[in-house]
Structure 1
Amino acid sequence: MYDIHHRIGINAPMERVHHALTTTEGLASWWTTDTQGDPTVGGKLVFTFGSPDRSASFEVLEVADDRIVWRGIAGPDEWIDTTCTFQLTQEGDETVLFFTHGDWREAVPFIGHCTTKWGTFLLGLKALLEGGRSCTYPDELVISSWDH
């Protein structure tokens, strides 16, 4: 299995970071504006990037004060049965987000694309929570033709 990892320090209270990861309005503020679903355990979240054939769905497996876990259930074939884990810790005034998109079956080229895209979206989350702008879809940073 293969994993993507990112560690981001965010100068915002852990509760604000948690809210951005566990509510549809919070998720829509940094990933894609077309975010729908139920962000509670057992719920399903759907993230759409312009059209239904460019969407990803996740089952919410865990929501704790310091950890959120989703499992891919629809979308890119490579994402089916992968897990997204958002681990939060407080280090002084900084909330540290350790993100893992894990359990990829193969190290395909798409994993490289997703690594970079996750990084841009997570840096947008950091910027937003620190008083700046996110790079939410459809205004995200385009890194290649795969973004269209």
Structure 2
Amino acid sequence: MSSHSIYHNFIIKVSLKEVFDAVSHPQHLDNWWTLKSSGEPKLGTTYNLNFTDAYDWYGKVAVCEPNNSFHIKMTKSDKDWEPTTFGFDLQEHDQGTYVRFSHVNWPEMNDHLKFSSFCWGMLLNGLKDYLEKGTVIPFENRN
């Protein structure tokens, strides 16, 4: 059985540490992605990724290398996201940080995957604006 993946590569003009913190610390996640989140960037810890009462999801830290790599394996979500892992691999770049985002192991190449890919593109652009310009888009305006 094949699986499908989403990839986005881009540059953020800030340090590795600033990007790592923004993708791994709940107080930052809530500024560009989640409504409210909790967790701590340590291997094996659980994150609560809350978007609404209906979308109150959980994942476990699968990879955590400070200022380098951070991935979460979903443990409680909807059926399409359940087998997936999303994450960030960071590399120093002369303009700041080169970000390789991945969201892998989707069971089907369906509309939800395609919609999620679009949403990730928008959200990751929001992450870039958050770090480069200090822009925080209110949660209700992120979709």
Q: Secondary structure at the match of 1:58?
A: strand
Equivalent positions of 1:38-117 (< 5 A) are: 38-51=40-53, 53-64=54-65, 65-117=67-119
* Residue-pair matches, total: 140
Q: Provide closer, same or farther for how the CA distance between residues 29 and 83 of structure 1 changes in structure 2, counting only shifts above 3 A.
A: same
Give the unaligned 5+ runs of structure 2: none
What percentage of aligned pairs have identical amino acids? 24
- Following TM superposition, by how much is the alpha carbon of 1:38 offset from its aligned partner in structure 2, in angstroms? 3.2
- TM-score w.r.t. structure 2 length? 0.91
Q: Provide closer, same or farther for how the CA distance between residues 124 and 134 of structure 1 changes in structure 2, counting only shifts above 3 A.
A: farther
Tell me which residue corresponds to 1:145. Answer: none
- Cα distance in 2, alignment partners of residues 137 and 120 from structure 1: 13
- Cα distance in 1, alignment partners of residues 138 and 59 from structure 2: 18
Q: Cα RMSD between the aligned structures? A: 1.4
Tell me which residue corresponds to 1:139. Answer: 141
- Following TM superposition, by how much is the alpha carbon of 1:93 offset from its aligned partner in structure 2, in angstroms? 2.5
- Cα distance in 2, alignment partners of residues 49 and 138 from structure 1: 10
| Cα contact 1:4–1:100 (8 A) shared by 2 | yes
| Cα contact 1:31–1:135 (8 A) shared by 2 | no
- TM-score w.r.t. structure 1 length? 0.88
Tell me which residue corresponds to 2:130. Answer: 128
- Following TM superposition, by how much is the alpha carbon of 1:55 offset from its aligned partner in structure 2, in angstroms? 2.4
- Following TM superposition, by how much is the alpha carbon of 1:39 offset from its aligned partner in structure 2, in angstroms? 3.1
Equivalent positions of 1:24-43 (< 5 A) are: 24-43=26-45
| Cα contact 1:124–1:136 (8 A) shared by 2 | no
Q: Give 1:139's aligned amino acid.
A: N
Give the unaligned 5+ runs of structure 1: 143-148
